[in-house]
């Protein structure tokens, strides 16, 4: 597919490509803010969020969430008594990896602090349409498996509504029609890079990702904005949805965008299509250890050299794990960075620590995931 952020991809294979279906190369987040036309999260805006959340969430403090559209408007409305709903989702193409959990953990935090509903869309239809080898049985299996991961994070059934697209399309269908009627093929083609060879299911599909932005009104009669926490690759969907929302009598959906957790290889986001560089939530401890052991770091060729000249945490995939999730104490993170740069702590030690932390986290997550099997039905959106 074409895309809006790459030109001449052959020239340089580290060239950035960021579309809803493909992320590769070195991602330049400042450039994405400009090219996508989003807003950076300013200190003033973060201060406003902090007023509602006691303490700024780690992911905001560390700029893992770094960009937005209309978060200010959503907060203005909230302060005047109009709530918002949260909306995010997952394409069930395979097991969930740690990178997927990052925005979900943040979503839970916002849900708890603002006391809002979450609509969570599982897009088995999308994955079926865009992938040559997906079949609907398989996507249904992963829909179930991926929902367990969401529930395991601690979402509560009273205010968490999972939409499984192929099962729940009746709920979405009229909204998708309202949306689809107002987006021209020309807009869709230039936004998503559709080609003559693109199947027509895929061309309609963006209307289905737009629908949950507006479903709250249909279900409850309340017209409130949706706030979407998600990685920035999903932004094209919201661009087209925002353009038509007001014509349909809805608020424009607002977004808060996060970065991608890098994979364990050199560069690139964690991607389920490269299993050796992704930690899946269902990985057993020995697999985790092995993947971590083979991970790309900023280390040097020999221990002696590294003790002398230090290593480079900025390119290290392991350091990113501490940064994104596993070292919440910022002073301790700085200490780890200092020891790494100074050659005091070698990669082996750092890897051993992270494997332990990861396996501790996964053990608890996997237990909660098992328990989720008994309650998963309670989360399924009701008519």
Residues in the chain: 383
Query: What is the per-residue burial (b if ≥16 Cβ within 10 Å, else e) of 318-355?
Result: bbbbbbbbbbeeeeebeebbebbbebebbbeebbebbb
121 binds ligand TRP (CB under 6 A): yes
CB closer to ligand TRP out of 119 and 322: 119
Distances (CA, A) of 140 to 169, 226, 246: 14, 26, 34
At its nearest, how many Å lie between ligand TRP and the CB of residue 303? 41
Q: Which of 5, 143, 160, 209 binds ligand TRP (CB under 6 A)?
A: 209
234 binds ligand TRP (CB under 6 A): yes
CB closer to ligand TRP out of 123 and 271: 123
CB closer to ligand TRP out of 91 and 310: 91
CB closer to ligand TRP out of 67 and 297: 67
CB closer to ligand TRP out of 38 and 234: 234
Give me the torsion for CA of 344, 348, 349, 350, rounded to 10°. Answer: 90
CA distance 60 to 110: 11
At its nearest, how many Å lie between ligand TRP and the CB of residue 207? 12
Q: Which of 228, 272, 295, 316 binds ligand TRP (CB under 6 A)?
A: 228
Between 17 and 36, how does the x/- string for binding to ligand TRP read (CB under 6 A)? ---x----------------
At its nearest, how many Å lie between ligand TRP and the CB of residue 293? 29
Residue 102 in contact with residue 63, Cβ under 8 Å? no
CB closer to ligand TRP out of 129 and 354: 129
Beta strand 17-19 pairing with 22-24:
antiparallel
What is the chain's percent helix, strand, coil content, to nearest 5? 55, 10, 30
What are 226's two structure tokens?
């949706």
252 binds ligand TRP (CB under 6 A): no
Q: Which of residues 304-343 bind ligand TRP (CB under 6 A)?
A: none
CA distance 345 to 360: 22
Widest Cα–Cα separation across the chain: 67
123 binds ligand TRP (CB under 6 A): yes
Q: Candidates 136-144, 228-236, 290-298, 338-346 — which segment interacts with ligand TRP by CB under 6 A?
A: 228-236
Q: Candidates 40-48, 83-91, 262-270, 318-326 — which segment interacts with ligand TRP by CB under 6 A?
A: 83-91
Quick one: 238 exposed, middle or buried, by C-beta within 10 A (0-12, 13-18, 19+)? buried
Q: Rounded to the nearest 5°, which phi and psi values hold at 188?
A: -60, -40
Beta strand 118-122 pairing with 85-90:
parallel
Between 87 and 106, how does the x/- string for binding to ligand TRP read (CB under 6 A)? xxxxx---------------
Binding site for ligand TRP (CB under 6 A): 20, 87-91, 121, 123, 126, 209, 228, 230, 234
């Amino acid at each position: 597919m074409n895309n809006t952020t790459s030109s001449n991809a052959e020239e340089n294979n580290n060239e950035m490509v960021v579309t809803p279906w493909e992320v590769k190369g070195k991602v330049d987040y400042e450039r994405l803010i400009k090219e996508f036309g989003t807003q950076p999260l300013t200190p003033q805006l973060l201060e406003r969020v902090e007023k509602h959340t006691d303490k700024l969430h780690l992911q905001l403090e560390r700029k893992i969430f770094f960009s937005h559209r209309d978060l200010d408007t959503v907060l203005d409305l909230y302060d005047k008594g109009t709530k918002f709903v949260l909306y995010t989702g997952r394409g069930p193409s395979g097991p969930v990896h740690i990178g997927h959990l990052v925005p979900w953990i943040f979503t839970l935090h916002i849900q708890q602090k603002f006391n809002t509903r979450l609509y969570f869309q599982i897009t088995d239809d999308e994955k079926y349409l865009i992938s040559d080898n997906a079949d609907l049985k398989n996507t249904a299996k992963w829909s179930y498996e991926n929902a367990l991961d969401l529930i395991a994070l601690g979402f509560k059934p009273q205010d968490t509504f999972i939409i499984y697209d192929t099962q729940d399309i009746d709920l979405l269908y009229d909204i998708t029609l309202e949306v689809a009627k107002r987006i021209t093929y020309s807009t869709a083609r230039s936004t998503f890079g559709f080609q003559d060879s693109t199947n027509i299911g895929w061309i309609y599909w963006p209307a289905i990702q737009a629908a949950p932005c507006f479903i709250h009104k249909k279900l409850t009669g309340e017209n409130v904005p949706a706030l979407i926490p998600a990685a920035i690759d999903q932004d094209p969907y919201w661009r087209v949805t925002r353009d038509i929302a007001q014509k349909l009598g809805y608020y424009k959906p607002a977004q808060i965008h996060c970065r991608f957790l890098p994979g364990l290889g050199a560069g690139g986001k964690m991607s389920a299509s490269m299993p050796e560089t992704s930690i899946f939530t269902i990985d057993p401890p020995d697999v985790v250890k092995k993947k971590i052991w083979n991970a790309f770091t900023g280390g040097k060729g020999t221990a002696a050299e590294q003790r002398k000249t230090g290593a480079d945490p900025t390119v290290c995939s392991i350091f990113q794990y501490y940064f994104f999730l596993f070292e919440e104490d910022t002073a301790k993170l700085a200490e780890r960075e200092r020891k790494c740069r100074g050659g005091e702590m070698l990669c082996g030690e750092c890897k051993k620590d992270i494997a332990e932390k990861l396996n501790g986290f996964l053990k608890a997550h996997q237990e909660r995931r098992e328990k989720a099997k008994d309650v998963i039905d309670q989360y399924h959106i009701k008519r």
